Structure 1
């Protein structure tokens, strides 16, 4: 059994009523997105706990085998071969354990949002569509899908009606917008409750998107 994922957490001043688990991108850490919490300006009454896990360190092929925090190896930048399925499955299992830990503390699954940026979004989409308990929502930022052809045989119906929100930069030169659109279309065609929105930005988040994420989280958890 792999070691549990370490994480940065930000807790509300009052008793926790909901949890957001937010997965970072390649080479980043849980510290990377933690500063977004105050920028979301969420009402204190929602009492949301944020968990920002650190991905395991591993060699990344496209970066010359350099070890860095990565949810999976990237062996090629090709559209359909970018994500290493074995690594995706391993990381999805580790993130699932984080969700189960929140549930064990008394948080219902339908009060937990799974969010991810870039590589983290790949894990969020992979796990969210296969997880056996209904989540409050799935947030997929500047990301894509690993092996979309496997969705039909591996998906679980628990999150078929769960809102899935995509956000992507029109000028993204790391994960081209077409990869995000393909993931969105795959889920839409499979009957998922997916929504798509683009922003005039590169491979990052912008204030307009942060404001939209805030409104989306509030709609899911109010």
Structure 2
């Protein structure tokens, strides 16, 4: 299962910190996603990037029945839960904890916050959606209390159907998240400048 291998950057975590949890994509690494932080307005943040065993959070597509991605999916979600608990134990309030992920990491970030909906600082999900062969609404409880969430994706994307992004947005809005969804025609499986600008404005409040 996933080991607790957390790579830190930015400011040290203290009770007054803003903390960004960064989740890399399939085949990526903690260092990769931390490098992306230079594009975000998080210069004063503490950055924490867990690294997946063998650089993959779960083995198959996020669109298969969740049982097929077990026990890796549960292990990944548990790792994030432990990381958040560690940050809370240092006195950081939930509203100062943020999440960012790309591709598989975006799916994982969205799945974690939906299963643990509270007032977070914000979420920036670049090409991702809730995990499963369908939306399992019974897994998602809580109230985001207006947490800002940005989701950007391409139409088409080879891994993430726009329909799943749309369904994810509806689910999160029904849980009182302030979701901004943006679909870019033929962007490819990447992150563009507009997504960065929007996430900085909406989530990181630049």
TM-score by length of 1: 0.77
Instruction: Give yes or no for contact 1:30–1:53 (8 Å, CA) kept in 2.
Output: yes
Give the structure with higher Rg (CA): 1
Q: Quick one: distance in 2 between partners of 1:182 and 1:14? A: 35
Instruction: Give yes or no for contact 1:4–1:97 (8 Å, CA) kept in 2.
Output: no
**Deviation at 1:217?**
3.1
Q: Quick one: distance in 2 between partners of 1:155 and 1:86? A: 19
- Give the one of 117, 125, 148 matched to 1:140: 125
Instruction: Give yes or no for contact 1:175–1:203 (8 Å, CA) kept in 2.
Output: no
Note if 1:50 corresponds to 2:47.
yes
Q: Please state whether the residue corresponding to 1:180 is helix, strand or coil.
A: helix
> In structure 2, do the counterparts of structure 1 residues 164 and 19 end up closer, same or farther at CA, with 3 Å as the change threshold?
same
Q: Quick one: distance in 1 between partners of 2:170 and 2:69? A: 21
Consecutive unaligned residues in structure 2, runs of 5 or more: none
**Deviation at 1:175?**
2.0
* RMSD between aligned residues: 2.8
**Deviation at 1:156?**
2.7
Number of corresponding residues: 202
TM-score by length of 2: 0.83
> In structure 2, do the counterparts of structure 1 residues 193 and 80 end up closer, same or farther at CA, with 3 Å as the change threshold?
farther
**Larger RCO, structure (CA 8 Å, separation 6 or more):** 2
Q: Please state whether the residue corresponding to 1:116 is helix, strand or coil.
A: strand
Instruction: Give yes or no for contact 1:5–1:56 (8 Å, CA) kept in 2.
Output: no
